[in-house]
Structure 1
């Protein structure tokens, strides 16, 4: 396996995006652990739910409807979500104010339970996320997949990124790059591929001093479709 130095990846990305300043303007900034801890549990549930609904649907349509979701589901208040009986969830899934999809609606109480259980152990779901070490970020992905509903694949990681947790994303461009240099060989979600991917990102983080979110963005910008 031949792994490029991160400064080589950065230089290629900067050239393709119009220079260092232009590239830096495109990069995400992760929140600090202290900032993450301030996010209420209902906002985590809302974010997971929105990303679940966006999977396979128009993101624009989901965003336009989202104020209705907030109203129909009581602002995603965790205690209220846990108290609602199945019949009430089924009725809400037919509400024309939202996107009617029973399977996705039923992820809301499941993910509310996950958040509640983490809050019982850590004080809040945000505390758990904030304390999770970046060098084991895939472990957090696996936690979401195992304990939540429809949070596998990129759904969980994308939600973490949106909420400010430092994480890389295995987008199509990033996955293609990792395959090209031999980090991923076979299924991307196998234990072997995930551990090799995590090791590569941890090495690049040590080398560059950058957060994981920026490393994966820079990799994507260095090799994906160059949309200016």
Structure 2
């Protein structure tokens, strides 16, 4: 990563100070921040929870999140609480029937991703013991590498879908929200598409540098940058 690019990045203290000015002071900012789970806690999650969250985010993509949340207990029931071994045994005919059930969101292509992502999780757990352990061991200073893995090997987990699922599960990750994309573009750290390899590497390097300065999680840093820009001033 070019030093000239990272030279455009603000010092952590400047970002934090502006967030405090915009959100009502340090106490207010700290009360708004949330932290990821520890790697040990992530490693002890059931692989069914990873399949459930991946599936939830796939269905929420391009749809009203509230509707998906309200229907989620029925998803859990119809897909065996996302137990990997049971989902793997679901034949096409059963998936088609589930996709026609009005208790859930009737979208066959998205329903298919449930089994497809169960296949990915199963392949990983055979090599690493569990998918949860695999995710827990992935370093936050290369979180874009985990995003890329999910995009390549999973079903419909590219874009923001995989990262939002990881955040919901407690994995330390930043998110490419509109505010963050705008921030890195205005600072001249990225240009063009935010999901290009060049842009993602620049953003990861920026977060790594901010983490070295602050000792904070990627999640907290992501939130602080969002607090420091955009239309979210404290009333």
Q: Displacement, 1:79? A: 0.5
Q: Equivalent residue of 1:189, what SS?
A: coil
User: In structure 2, what is the equivalent of residue 101 of structure 1?
Assistant: 107
Q: Is residue 2:184 matched to residue 1:178?
A: yes
Instruction: Give unmatched runs, 5+ long, in structure 2.
Output: none
User: In structure 1, what is the equivalent of residue 193 of structure 2?
Assistant: 187
Return the match for 1:40 from 40, 46, 58: 46
CA distance in 2, matches of 1:215, 1:112: 32
Instruction: Give unmatched runs, 5+ long, in structure 1.
Output: none
Q: Is residue 2:30 matched to residue 1:24?
A: yes
Q: Is residue 2:25 matched to residue 1:5?
A: no
Return the match for 2:205 from 199, 206, 216: 199
CA distance in 2, matches of 1:3, 1:50: 35
Q: Which moved more, 1:190-199 or 1:170-179?
A: 190-199
Q: Displacement, 1:57? A: 1.0
TM-score between both structures, scaled by the size of structure 2: 0.95
Q: Is residue 2:125 matched to residue 1:132?
A: no
Contact 2:22 2:233 in 1 (8 A): no
CA distance in 1, matches of 2:166, 2:132: 11
TM-score between both structures, scaled by the size of structure 1: 0.98
Q: Displacement, 1:187? A: 1.3
Return the match for 2:96 from 90, 94, 105: 90
Q: CA RMSD for the aligned pairs?
A: 0.9
Q: Is residue 2:72 matched to residue 1:63?
A: no
Q: Displacement, 1:227? A: 5.4
Q: How many residues align?
A: 228
Q: Any runs of at least 4 consecutive aligned residues in structure 1 with deviations exceeding 6 A, and if so which?
A: none
